[in-house]
């Protein structure tokens, strides 16, 4: 078989010229017919240099030899079949697009419906009365004080030591005992000191006899000298001897006094009234006056003192309160600052400021008759500077903060709200009416968000400058579910005594965490302690209503 190479202006072909071409023959598969070749004139007739040459312009080739075929028979569908398949694909794509659009529209409408239902549910929940705890705005006297951490110290502390040497023969106290001044505590063996006293007394008796003899001789020599029998020198010698005897007697008397003092040191007594600590020696031990170890320590706790510090910037306020000899009141509170332990007075201010901390030490004195304070105990101290009279006071739990400033929720008891049973739009039947007391407890009222101006915050109490009137009811627990105009079911904050008996848990708790609420304690200054509202929150179910 021969090959020819044809060269054209835009396209070059290398074709194989078959000797014969028989479409019906199986051996002619893959052979190119003779009319496949193009002449230069036909090639030049094509438009443009990049035009594709017509390989089968007369469409005389079989299907498997067509230029658009892959050479395999049966893989090239007819043109009519291809046109039908494209139309089906367009229909399917259109249906898919329409389905997607319909799904998006349905989803948007369903979301709007759900939002409307949720809004209706929220509106219903917002319209339901919320159980809250209220307190009354008071008009009372409030103390203005400084707070500091103080340490209780003994008013006097004595470490007892032995002043003589000897063996301990008796211990007459119990560790931790309250002792009085002059009470015998420890007895040291007195025998050696009793013997020394007896010896001194014997020397005194001897010297007194010698002194009497010397005085008599001096008197005789004086008479003889006056008679001219003896010389002046002899008379003066006897007078000197008599004088020495008097001096010896005085020395013996001093020795006796020293022996008595040493004998008294064998009895160790309490120099002050106080509490005895743990003893450092036991019965039978030898003690020495030169020992640096004490026998026991006595601390005076009645009265007792508290040392605390205040910043130097607050000292002018303290000095102003102390003018004219006025004694400022100091209160000692427990570690949790919930219970007052004792009340005392300010004794003095230290004479210098600590430069490392910028504070000054103050000392207060407490009577401590009930032994509530103990040495080295940590307490919270309140130094009362003044008392603010006729102040409008609310609990600190009632104050809320918003974008417009401080405000409180005030219960409008002048306009009660008519309630309907939950879940129905009908009024409750008369047979189901509760007693008058229960009806009063379940009566709903609207609340107002009223702005207030705070003058001073003092502990758990807030002094207002304006915004409220004495006797108004403010919400102190449950504000998180309220807004201006909400309905509430108020529960009074019990300040008079025991709460009403019911199956529900009490609204507050005592400082020890017990669920039983005792009568509310009131400070001497009139500031009432606030109950814990955590127990009241447990009374509400998931819908915000109080459990029966």
Q: What is the pLDDT of residue 479?
A: 87
Q: Among residues of the chain, what percentage have pLDDT more than 90?
A: 39
Q: What is the pLDDT of residue 542?
A: 38
**pTM confidence score:** 0.53
Q: What angle do CA 153, 159, 163 make, to 5 degrees?
A: 160
Least confident range of 186-200, 339-353, 486-500: 486-500
Tell me the C-alpha to C-alpha distance, in Å, between residue 251 and each of 179, 256, 347: 38, 9, 49
Least confident range of 72-86, 206-220, 335-349, 434-448: 72-86
Distance, in Å, from the CA atom of 214 to the CA atom of 8, rounded to the nearest integer, reads 177
The tokens describing 75, both together, are 């893989």
If pLDDT is split at 50, 70 and 90, which confidence band does 81 have? low
Q: Give per-residue pLDDT as tens, 280-319.
A: 889 999 999 998 889 999 999 999 999 999 999 999 999 9
* Neighbouring residues of 149: CB distance < 8 A, sequence distance ≥ 6: 308, 378, 379, 380, 381
Taking residues 208-231, report their average pLDDT. Answer: 87
- How many other CB atoms are there within 10 angstroms of residue 178's CB atom? 13
Taking residues 396-416, report their average pLDDT. Answer: 90
Distance, in Å, from the CA atom of 209 to the CA atom of 211, rounded to the nearest integer, reads 5
Name the DSSP class of 388: E
Residue 238 has pLDDT above 90, yes or no: no
User: 244 phi and psi, to 5 degrees?
Assistant: -65, -35
Higher pLDDT, 136 or 73: 136
Q: What angle do CA 400, 497, 140 make, to 5 degrees?
A: 50
If pLDDT is split at 50, 70 and 90, which confidence band does 34 have? very low
Distance, in Å, from the CA atom of 133 to the CA atom of 546, rounded to the nearest integer, reads 12
Taking residues 89-111, report their average pLDDT. Answer: 88
The tokens describing 249, both together, are 């007697």
Q: What is the pLDDT of residue 539?
A: 38
Q: What is the pLDDT of residue 369?
A: 92
Please state which CATH class domain 143-150+300-388 belongs to. mainly beta
Residue 256 has pLDDT above 70, yes or no: yes
Q: What is the pLDDT of residue 124?
A: 66
If pLDDT is split at 50, 70 and 90, which confidence band does 125 have? low
Least confident range of 62-76, 248-262, 311-325, 478-492: 62-76
Q: Is 113 exposed, middle or buried (0-12, 13-18, 19+ CB in 10 A)?
A: exposed
Residue 109 has pLDDT above 50, yes or no: yes
Burial track 76-93 (b if 16+ CB lie within 10 A, e otherwise):
beeeeeeeeeeeeeeeee
The domain spans of the chain are 143-150+300-388, 162-287
């Amino acid at each position: 078989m021969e090959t020819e190479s044809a060269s054209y202006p835009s396209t070059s072909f290398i074709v194989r010229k078959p000797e014969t071409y028989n479409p019906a023959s199986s051996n002619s598969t893959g052979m190119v017919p003779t009319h496949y070749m193009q002449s230069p004139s036909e090639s030049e007739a094509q438009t443009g240099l990049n035009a594709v040459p017509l390989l089968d312009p007369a469409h005389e080739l079989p299907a498997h030899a067509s230029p658009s075929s892959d050479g395999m028979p049966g893989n090239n569908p007819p043109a009519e079949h291809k046109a039908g398949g494209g139309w089906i694909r367009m229909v399917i794509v259109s249906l898919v697009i329409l389905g997607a659009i319909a799904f998006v529209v349905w989803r948007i409408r369903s979301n709007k419906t759900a939002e409307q239902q949720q809004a209706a549910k929220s509106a219903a929940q917002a319209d339901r009365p919320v159980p809250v705890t209220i307190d009354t705005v008071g008009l009372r006297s409030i103390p203005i004080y400084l707070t500091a951490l103080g340490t209780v110290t003994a008013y006097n502390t004595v470490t007892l030591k032995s002043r003589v040497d000897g063996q301990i023969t008796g211990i007459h106290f119990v560790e931790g005992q309250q002792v009085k001044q002059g009470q015998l505590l420890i007895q040291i063996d007195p025998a050696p000191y009793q013997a020394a006293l007896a010896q001194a007394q014997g020397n005194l008796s001897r010297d007194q006899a010698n002194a009497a003899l010397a005085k008599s001789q001096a008197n005789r020599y004086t008479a003889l000298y006056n008679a001219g029998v003896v010389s002046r020198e002899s008379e003066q010698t006897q007078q000197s001897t008599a004088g020495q005897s008097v001096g010896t007697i005085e020395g013996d008397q001093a020795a006796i006094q020293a022996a008595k003092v040493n004998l008294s040191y064998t009895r160790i007594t309490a120099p002050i009234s106080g509490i005895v600590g743990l003893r450092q020696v036991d019965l039978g031990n030898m003690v020495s006056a030169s020992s640096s170890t004490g026998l026991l320590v006595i601390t005076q706790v009645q009265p007792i003192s508290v040392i605390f510090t205040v910043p130097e910037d607050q000292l002018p306020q303290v000095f102003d309160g102390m003018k004219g000899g006025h004694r400022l009141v100091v209160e000692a509170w427990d570690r949790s600052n919930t219970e007052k332990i004792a009340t005392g007075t300010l004794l003095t201010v230290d004479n210098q400021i600590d430069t490392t901390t910028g504070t000054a030490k103050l000392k207060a004195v407490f009577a401590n008759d009930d032994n509530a304070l103990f040495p080295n105990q940590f307490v919270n101290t309140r130094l009362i500077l003044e008392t603010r009279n006729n102040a409008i006071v609310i609990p600190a739990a009632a104050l809320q903060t918003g974008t417009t400033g401080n405000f409180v929720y005030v219960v409008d008891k002048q306009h009660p709200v008519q309630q309907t049973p939950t879940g129905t739009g009908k009024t409750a039947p008369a047979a189901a009416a509760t007693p008058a007391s229960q009806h009063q407890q379940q009566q709903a009222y609207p609340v107002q968000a009223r702005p207030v101006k705070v003058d001073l915050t003092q502990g758990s109490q807030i002094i207002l400058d304006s915004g409220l009137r004495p006797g108004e009811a403010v919400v102190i627990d449950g504000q998180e579910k309220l807004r201006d105009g909400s309905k509430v079911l108020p529960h009074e904050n019990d300040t008079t005594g025991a709460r009403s008996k019911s199956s529900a848990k009490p609204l507050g708790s005592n400082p020890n965490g017990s669920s039983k609420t005792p009568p509310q304690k009131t400070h001497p200054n009139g500031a009432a302690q606030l109950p814990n509202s955590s127990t009241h929150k447990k009374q509400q179910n998931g819908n915000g209503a109080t459990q029966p």
